[in-house]
C-alpha cells in the first residue's frame, strides 16, 4: 500500500499504544462471550444493525440490516439469527460469509447513544423452523444468518454525541443531496433517465415491492 500524503505512519501496536494509551480495567471488564440480562434489550429493541464481513482475501464490506425492533432473534445467549430480506442480489455479505465466517454486528436504537457490538462466527441457514418466526407481512425469509457470539459488549455514546446524530435540528433535508437517479446518471451518463429512475423507485417503495 502506497501513501503519498504522509510519511508519519503508525505501523505497529507499540507505536499506537504510545499515542492512545491502554484501555482501563473497567473497559476490559465489559467484554463478554455471551448476552446477559442487561445486554439482551439492546438486541431486542434494535430495528437497525450494521453487518461487517470480509472475504478470504480480507476485502471488507459493511451492510445495513433493518426491520421492526427485535428482528434479530436471540436463539440463546450465545446465538443470534438475522433474517435475510430481499436486496440487490449482489450478496456481498453472504458471499463473504461463505469464504470467511468472521462477522461484526453493531446494534443501533433510535434516540439512544449507546450501541451494542457483537463479534462472532456466522453461517447461512434455510431451516424453515428457525426462519418461520421471522415472518413480516406474512412472508418468512428464505435465508438467515446464524451468528455464534465470541464477543459482546456495549459501545459508549461519544460518537453519537460528537456527531449530534439524534438531534433533529441537525437532520439533513434529503433534497440537499443528489437523488439515487442522479447518482446513477452520473455513473452511466445518458443510459439513465434520473427523473424516471427516481419515480419508478418511489413507486416500488410505496408498494413495498421487494421488501419481504
Interval 4-19: pLDDT, tens: 777 789 999 999 999 9
- Which domains does the chain show, CATH number per domain? 28-163 (2.30.110.10), 172-206 (no CATH)
Give me the pLDDT at residue 2, please. 61
Give the max Cα distance, the chain: 58
Q: What is the mean pLDDT of residues 37-49?
A: 98
Contact of 74 with 40, CB cutoff 8 Å: yes
Its pTM stands at 0.94
Contact of 119 with 106, CB cutoff 8 Å: no
In terms of phi and psi (left: phi > 0; alpha: psi -120 to 50; beta: otherwise), the region of 138 is left
Pick from 206, 207, 198: which is nearest to 177 by CA?
198
Which 3 state secondary structure label does DSSP give 124? Answer: strand
Cα–Cα distance between 60 and 54 in angstroms, integer? Answer: 4
Whether the predicted pLDDT of 125 surpasses 60: yes
Q: What is the pLDDT of residues 154-197, one digit of tens each?
A: 999 999 999 999 999 999 999 999 999 999 999 998 889 999 99
Contact of 83 with 67, CB cutoff 8 Å: yes
Helix (H) and strand (E) counts for the chain?
A: 8, 7
Give me the pLDDT at residue 1, please. 57
Residue 143 — pLDDT band, cuts 50, 70, 90? very high
Cα–Cα distance between 134 and 74 in angstroms, integer? Answer: 11
Cα–Cα distance between 53 and 97 in angstroms, integer? Answer: 7
Amino acid at each position: 500500500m502506497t501513501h503519498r500524503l504522509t510519511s508519519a505512519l503508525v505501523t505497529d501496536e507499540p507505536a499506537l499504544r504510545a499515542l492512545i494509551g491502554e484501555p482501563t480495567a473497567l473497559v476490559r471488564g465489559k467484554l463478554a462471550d455471551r448476552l446477559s440480562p442487561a445486554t439482551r434489550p439492546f438486541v431486542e429493541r434494535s430495528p437497525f444493525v450494521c453487518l461487517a464481513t470480509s472475504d478470504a482475501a480480507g476485502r471488507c464490506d459493511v451492510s445495513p440490516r433493518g426491520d421492526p425492533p427485535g428482528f434479530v432473534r436471540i436463539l440463546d445467549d450465545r446465538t443470534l439469527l438475522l433474517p435475510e430480506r430481499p436486496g440487490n442480489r449482489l450478496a456481498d455479505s453472504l458471499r463473504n460469509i461463505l469464504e470467511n465466517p468472521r462477522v461484526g454486528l453493531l446494534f443501533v436504537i433510535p434516540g439512544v447513544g449507546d450501541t451494542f457490538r457483537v463479534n462472532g462466527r456466522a453461517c447461512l441457514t434455510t431451516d424453515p423452523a428457525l426462519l418461520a418466526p421471522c415472518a413480516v407481512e406474512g412472508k418468512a425469509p428464505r435465508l438467515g444468518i446464524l451468528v455464534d457470539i465470541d464477543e459482546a459488549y456495549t459501545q459508549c455514546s461519544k460518537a453519537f454525541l460528537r456527531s449530534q446524530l439524534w438531534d433533529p435540528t441537525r437532520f439533513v433535508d434529503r433534497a440537499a443531496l443528489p437523488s439515487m437517479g442522479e447518482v446513477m446518471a452520473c455513473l452511466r451518463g445518458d443510459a439513465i433517465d434520473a427523473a424516471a429512475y427516481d419515480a419508478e423507485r418511489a413507486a416500488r417503495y410505496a408498494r413495498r415491492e421487494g421488501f419481504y
